[in-house]
Structure formats: C-alpha cells, structure tokens
Amino acid sequence: MAYLFTSESVSEGHPDKVADQISDALLDNFLAFDPDSKVACETLVTTGQVVLAGEVKSNTYLDVQNIAREVINNIGYTKGEYKFSGDSCGVISLIHEQSQDINQGVDRATKEEQGAGDQGMMFGYATKETHNYMPLALDISHKILQVLADLRREGKEIDYLRPDAKAQVTIEYSDDNMPQRIDTIVVSTQHDDFDAEEAMLAKIKEDIINILIPKVVAQLPDYVQKLFNENISYHINPTGKFVIGGPHGDTGLTGRKIIVDTYGGKGAHGGGAFSGKDPSKVDRSAAYAARHIAKNLVAAGVADEVLVQVSYAIGVVEPTSIFIDTYGTANVDLNDGEIAKKVSQLFDMRPFAIEERLKLRNPIYLETAAYGHVGKEPRIVTKTFESPYNNAGRVEKKVELFTWEKLDYVEKVKEVFGL
C-alpha cells in the first residue's frame, strides 16, 4: 500500500537556527586562534536579548558580543521593527571554564588515546534516493528555504520577506519505497505588514507558488522535477499573517532542531545536538563519521540504504559498539552484523582518529548550522577571523568544509567487500 512521508526544514532566521549559528561562530573563532580548544557553547535568543552560556578550555579570549552581533546581522536581523537586531540587542556572556572532571577523561598523554567526550549513541544515514544520498523530502525542504533566503536578500522579485521561515514537504511512496509524487508543500514565511491581511496573504501565496517553487524545481534533477504536479496541496502561511517572528516571536535555543540538522525523520538520531561543540564531543564528530561511513557504503554499492550506529563511554577510547542496518537492501552476500565487522576494521572510530580523518580541528562549523549538517558539497574556502585580545590580531585559514560528505572511501569499501 502506498504511503506518505514528511520532512521539514527551517530557515537561517528561525530562532533556534539563530542560536545554532551563534554557537558555531563562537566555536569557529576559538578553533581559529587555538585549534586545541574544548568548547561546549549554548545560546538563547529572545526579544532584544542574547544569552551565551557553556564551558570552554582555550588559550585564546574572544569578543563574544561582537561575534554574536555579526552573525545576527549577517542573517538579516538588522531592522528595529523586527524587535531583534544585531546592532541593538543585549548580549550576556555566562561562559566559564570547562570542568576538570570532564577534561581528565578526554586529554591523555598521547592524542591517539584521547577518550570520548561523553557517552551516548550517534547515527549516520544514507540512501540512493537522491544524488547527495539524502532523504528526498528533507532535501527539497532545505532547497525551498535556501531559495527563499536568496529571494529575500535580493529583494527584487519578492520584496517583503523577513528572515524567519519554515518549510515542509510530503511525498507519496509506492509499496517498493519509490517516490511517486509530491503530495503537500507547507511554507510559512515571516513578512512585512504591507497590505490588508486577506490581500497580503493572497499575494504571498501567489508569489510562493509562482516565483519560489519554479526556482526550486529548476534546481532539481529531472527525475525529481517529474514528481511535481498541478495537484500538489499548498499551505502557505496557513495560520494567517506572520509579521511577528524570529527571536521576538519565539525564543530560540541551541540544539533544538536536530532532526532538521540530520535526516528529516529518516534513519535515527541519538539525541545529542551538534552546534557549539568541538570535535572531542562525539555527539558531533561521531555523527559526522557515521554519515561518512553510510554514504561511502551506499555509493560503493554495498546497500541501497544504510543506517550506522556507533556508541561510546565517556573517557574511553574505543567505541562500545558499531551497528549497521541495511533495511534488507544489501547487495552483498553478508548479513548486517558481518557488514558491521568489516566496517569496524576499515574505519578507525577512535575520537582522535575521527578528528584527523575528517579534519575537524578547523574552523568549519558555522556553515553547518543552517540547512543541514549533512548532504552538502565538500569545498575548500578561506576564512578570516579577527580578535582584539591576546595579540592574536587577524588569522586567515584555508579550510575544507563538509569533509564527511566526501566519497573518498568508495574504492576501499569496494575492495573490502569484493565489489
């Protein structure tokens, strides 16, 4: 029997994503000036206020207020009528030194013996469904909001958009798990108060359907474009006008959009958030490593769909388990337990080995904090950081983003599995 599956995404101006981006901007700055920094930074944003809290062990000192304000302005909260702007909000820092009780379990005599920063389980997932091995409903949801943000910044074809937005896509699947059509698209976007409510909502719906959606469809491959049809049910700002939004409309917290950050409800999630955490925290680094494994397994042809689970004990070097679920889609004559055994031999999942393999001790994290931590193209960029403290001055770093999305283990996987 056919079934429906739904995923959602939120924009960079969503309050929780504002908080995530501030946390990751702080992390990037700590790592830029001291790559050995240990950081766990949480952010709360609300009407006119930003609260920074968390634990840090670092040899550098930052102007955290300025970093937070710069992130907020870059997102687009620059006007007084938003009741939240980078230039006028208050920024309170409650960041303090990392607990020595935690640190003693992580730092060791040799880096190779670095223990996990916490206990827990982390998941990675990949599917043949899309070119980037991501669930299709989530991939489309992300694209809707990225194109919406582009339109907002250009301010030409649609000139009334504000930064806060959400999107949701429902896809109908066949019995054999093949996408058949787009059933429903939901878009809620913050906007200026530019007309009487009924006329305003009609204009927004018309622009979303006739300007935004065609631009999104044009970015999709042919087989996905064919899923769009005239019978899609659209819900555009279904509650009515959406003028009050962002941190003024809803308090934002770091780590509250972990399903948006990962696989949109497909696969699984261990519960640990990513943003604001340095890579000694396996909540983040091991989740990236698990995605790297899953993606390379699917790309190599081991299975059409793969879920990878890895677990750790705090302060312990080796993972306590590695689990593989191929959902019955394996293309090799091995059961999932046998596949997991080969994976554990091929991929070193000790925390320091993950950091080295994926180059995680670099300032690469702000770019992950909106529109998903996975599914993006790896690329090399040059980033500049400035600090008025400790004679640090200005640092320029060439870094590789989204290394866990590289298909650099495909040939090794094929060799190990005889493909």
Binding residues are 14, 16, 42, 55, 98, 164-166, 241-242, 250, 256-257, 273, 277, 281
* Order of strands, sheet of 38-46, starting from the edge strand that comes earlier in the sequence: 90-97, 49-57, 38-46, 252-253
Annotated binding-site ranges for Mg(2+): 16
What whole-number distance in Å separates Cα of residue 44 and Cα of residue 59?
25
The Cα 101–Cα 105 span in angstroms is 7
Dist. CA 215–CA 118, nearest whole Å? 43
134 CB-near residues (< 8 Å, 6+ apart): 126, 127, 263, 372, 374, 375
* CA-based nearest residue to 291, from 315, 266, 316, 314: 266
Annotated binding-site residues for ATP read 14, 164-166, 241-242, 250, 256-257, 273, 277
Q: Which amino acid is at 15?
A: P
Measure Cα distances from 156 to 77, 82, 103, 116, 142 in Å.
18, 20, 51, 49, 22
Q: Is the dihedral of CA 105, 27, 292, 11 positive or negative?
A: positive
Nearest to 16 by CA among 131, 198, 220, 166: 166
Residues 91, 52 contacting (CB under 8 angstroms): yes
Residue 347 CB: number of other CB atoms within 10 A? 22
Annotated binding site for K(+): 42
Going 84 to 85 to 91 to 96, the CA torsion angle's sign is positive
Residues annotated within the binding site for L-methionine are 55, 98, 250, 281
Cα 174 from chain centre:
29
